[in-house]
Amino acid sequence: MNSYQEFIKAFKEKSGLDLKAYKQNQMERRIRTFLDTHKYDNFGAFLKALDSDKLLYDKFFKHLTINVSQFFRDPKQWEFIRENLIPNYLNTKKALKIWSAGCSGGQEPYSLAIMLLEHFPNIRFSILAVDIDDNVLQQAKLGFYRENDLISTPPEIIKKYFTKTDKGYQIKDVVKKQITFKKQNLLTDKFETGFDLIACRNVVIYFTEEIKTELYKKFYNSLLTGGILFTGSSEHLFGTNESGFKSVSSFFYQKY
């Protein structure tokens, strides 16, 4: 096995992750860099190593899925949610159903829960948080974080919603109980419906244009009319009129 195409076919059978959905130049470069770093000369030898070395497999999977996050990342966007999105667009709601699609280590759904608990105590809400990576889901369920995860978090919020330990910060149960974590492959698994807000940030930028279009259609179908899709700071929906979304601010799109 020497070709990239043979490797991604075999890896899909092993992992369920279809690397054809990702931009080939970016993904192939990432994979070959990983192989070079770990001293593998070809795809065949590397695939055999993945079969026998779980730590290597987990490290490689994490490398592919690019799990980078922190609490309240991109503060201006969180300010828009707090000051405009909920008061102006979701103000008729007594309860919110929210989906964090590609939740990584849990920083995003926990940020959403903290914001709602802190600023909208009269709104009931539930948050579904999904990711394809078992390891980051395990971290998310544990809810334990390092100081660098909290760089963008105000000290008073840290004090109120986290317990400081010798090794880091443990999120409190009052936040944990608001969230359901689940493994999900966004490319193949069925989506739930009835959401008021879907956050899918810095996930689709790695996909091909065809897969992006398909995912946005599925997100549209999962939202209630008037619901909001929240995308990453490097992601824009072009042709939103055709997709059924309208832009209400940068990175926020409403189903109409």
What residue numbers bound the domain in which 179 lies?
75-255
Does residue 192 lie in a domain region? Answer: yes
129 & 168 share domain: yes
Residue-level pLDDT at 234: 66
Residues 212 and 226: their CA atoms lie apart, in Å, by 21
Residue-level pLDDT at 242: 55
84 & 124 share domain: yes
The values of phi and psi at residue 203, to 5°, are -115, -55
Residue-level pLDDT at 205: 79
159 & 190 share domain: yes
Q: What CATH number is associated with residue 125?
A: 3.40.50.150
Q: Which of 65, 96, 116 is the last residue of a domain?
A: 65
Q: Residue 188 burial (CB < 10 Å; 0-12/13-18/19+)?
A: exposed
221 & 245 share domain: yes
Residues 22 and 11: their CA atoms lie apart, in Å, by 14
At 50 the three-state DSSP class reads helix
Residue-level pLDDT at 70: 84
Does residue 190 lie in a domain region? Answer: yes
Residues 199 and 109: their CA atoms lie apart, in Å, by 9
CB 111 within 8 A of CB 138: no
Q: Which residue has the tokens 């963008």?
A: 152
Residue-level pLDDT at 91: 83
Residues 125 and 105: their CA atoms lie apart, in Å, by 20
223 & 136 share domain: yes
Q: Which residue has the tokens 């897969």?
A: 211
99 & 225 share domain: yes
CA-to-CA separations, 211 to 30, 121, 231, in angstroms, rounded: 19, 38, 15
From first to last of its 256 residues, what are the pLDDT tens digits of the chain? 678 999 999 998 888 888 888 888 888 988 999 999 999 989 999 999 999 998 998 888 878 776 557 899 888 999 999 999 999 988 888 899 999 999 999 999 999 999 999 999 999 999 999 999 998 999 999 999 999 899 889 999 999 999 999 999 999 999 999 999 999 999 999 999 999 999 999 888 778 889 988 999 999 999 999 999 999 866 777 655 557 899 999 899 999 8
- Residues with Cβ within 8 Å of 59's Cβ and at least 6 positions away in sequence, in order, are none
